[in-house]
Amino acid sequence: MEEKFNLKRGVIFDLDGTMWDSSEAVTAAYNRSLERVGLDIRLSRSDVMAVMGKTMTEIAHIYFDAIDPNRAEDIMLDCIEEENEYLKTHCGEVYDGLEDTLRELGRRGYFLACVSNCQSGYIEAFYAATGLGKYFKDKECWGGTGLEKAGNIRLVVERNGLESAVYVGDTLGDYNATMAAGQKFIHAAYGFGSVPEGTPAISSIKELPEALELLEDR
């Protein structure tokens, strides 16, 4: 018998470092863009990993102020346009067990959403590359609203009538945004960052359903 869908409990996912690692593909896309516009600078995978979770405006000035602060955001815009198209056909490394976990959470009645500090089109590229968009009922990003992560978490919770939500993310920025939004947090400890000691954590995405049960019992 099909379980009744429960809109009151939500699980909101970060993307990079939580559901996939796209750093290699993103690096290739950025460097294709930089070559096309005639810039000599090239980025490494470690350069890309170092800024995961930041907004595109922040990343633009980290990467390109040394070239020209007035052009940094325009250069970044070209990079992210290339990135969105490239990722649709060059999938990042999806963490093992993700689809099974999403399917199980849906079966248990959780409302699933994705909130990222990315540009518009990036979550859609993830969906296109992986085929996992069918599991998510909502999504939001910095590029869509101009809000940073705390604001977008609140927005998703409010517009979907969620009584409670757990944000699953991998960095201190994710943790701080979740606390500011007044929601619970589970650390994807296999990802790119660290959070305060004692925070509920998983070492694999496969552990998430049981971690959610434990968190609800607290």
Predicted pLDDT of residue 103: 98
Q: What is the pTM of this model?
A: 0.91
Cα–Cα distance measured from residue 89 to residue 83, given in angstroms and rounded to the nearest whole number:
10
Provide the angle, in degrees to the nearest 10, between the axes of the packed helices 23-36 and 72-89.
Answer: 130
Q: Break the chain into its structural domains and give their ranges.
A: 9-21+95-217, 23-89
Cβ-based neighbours of 6, under 8 Å, separated by 6 or more:
109, 110, 111
What distance lies between CA 196 and its chain's CA centroid? 20
Predicted pLDDT of residue 1: 33
188 forms bridges with which residues in the sheet? 202
Task: Scan for tokens 């049981």, then name that residue.
Answer: 210
Question: What are the backbone angles phi and psi of residue 191, rounded to the nearest 5°?
Answer: -90, -145
Q: Which two tokens stand for residue 154?
A: 């609140």
Equal CATH topology for 9-21+95-217 and 23-89: no
138 forms bridges with which residues in the sheet? 113
- Spelled out in words, what is the top-level CATH class assigned to the domain 23-89? mainly alpha
Predicted pLDDT of residue 92: 95
Confirm or reject CATH 3.40.50.1000 for domain 9-21+95-217, answering yes or no.
yes
Question: What are the backbone angles phi and psi of residue 36, rounded to the nearest 5°?
Answer: -65, -35
Cα–Cα distance measured from residue 184 to residue 17, given in angstroms and rounded to the nearest whole number:
18
DSSP secondary structure letter of residue 16: B
pLDDT in tens, the chain (218 residues): 344 444 589 999 999 999 999 999 999 999 999 999 999 999 999 999 999 888 999 999 999 999 999 999 999 999 999 999 999 999 999 999 999 999 999 999 999 999 999 999 999 999 999 999 999 999 999 999 999 999 999 999 999 999 999 999 999 999 999 999 999 999 999 999 999 999 999 999 999 999 999 998 76
